[in-house]
């Protein structure tokens, strides 16, 4: 059974720092891995999706890497800003044919202080 773990659970940093969020998964046979952002009381915004054949994906100040063999992904945020404050979740689809229901971590709650 696939399990997803995220560390740290919470992170507080001063503005401008580069930071790394970690995600690990127990079953390395994944199709892809997706990183999401969630603001308090709101829905989820997809940030990056890395296919199983890829090593990394970049979008602006965000870079996500994937190491399937070790069951790990990292989300790197460069030059953090107060607007980056949110909960960041990673998710992998279950191995169930066309039903790519997502298995989620609990998230990392990030606070970037001005």
For residues 44 and 55, what is the distance between their CA atoms, to the nearest angstrom? 24
Nearer to another protein, 2 or 74 (CB): 2
What is the side-by-side strand order in the sheet with 19-25? 4-7, 19-25, 72-77, 62-67, 56-59
Question: What is the nearest approach in angstroms of another protein to the Cβ of residue 41?
Answer: 7
- Paired residues of 109 in beta bridges: 10, 87
Closer to another protein by CB, 60 or 114: give it. Answer: 60
Smallest distance, Å, CB 87 to another protein? Answer: 9
- In angstroms, the CA 18 to CA 78 distance is 4
Could you tell me the smallest distance in angstroms from the CB atom of residue 58 to another protein? Answer: 16
Give the nearer residue to another protein in terms of CB position, either 9 or 79.
Answer: 9
Structure tokens at 48: 């990056």
Binding footprint of another protein on the chain (CB under 8 A):
4, 31-32, 34, 36, 41-46, 49, 89, 91, 93-94, 96, 98-107
Q: Is 84 helix (H, G, I), strand (E, B) or coil?
A: helix
Chain CA centroid to CA 23, Å: 6
Is the CB of 16 or the CB of 31 nearer to another protein? 31
Closest approach of another protein to the CB of residue 13, in Å: 21
């Amino acid at each position: 059974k696939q399990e997803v773990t995220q560390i740290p659970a919470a992170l507080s940093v001063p503005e401008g720092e580069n930071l790394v969020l970690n995600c690990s998964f127990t079953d390395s046979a994944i199709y892809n891995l997706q990183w999401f952002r969630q603001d308090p009381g709101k829905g989820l915004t997809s940030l990056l999706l890395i296919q199983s054949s890829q090593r990394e994906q970049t979008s602006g100040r965000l870079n996500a890497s994937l190491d399937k063999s070790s069951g790990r992904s990292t989300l790197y945020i460069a030059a953090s800003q107060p607007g980056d404050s949110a909960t960041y979740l990673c998710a992998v689809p279950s191995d169930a044919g066309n039903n790519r229901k997502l298995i989620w971590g609990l998230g990392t709650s990030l606070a970037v202080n001005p």
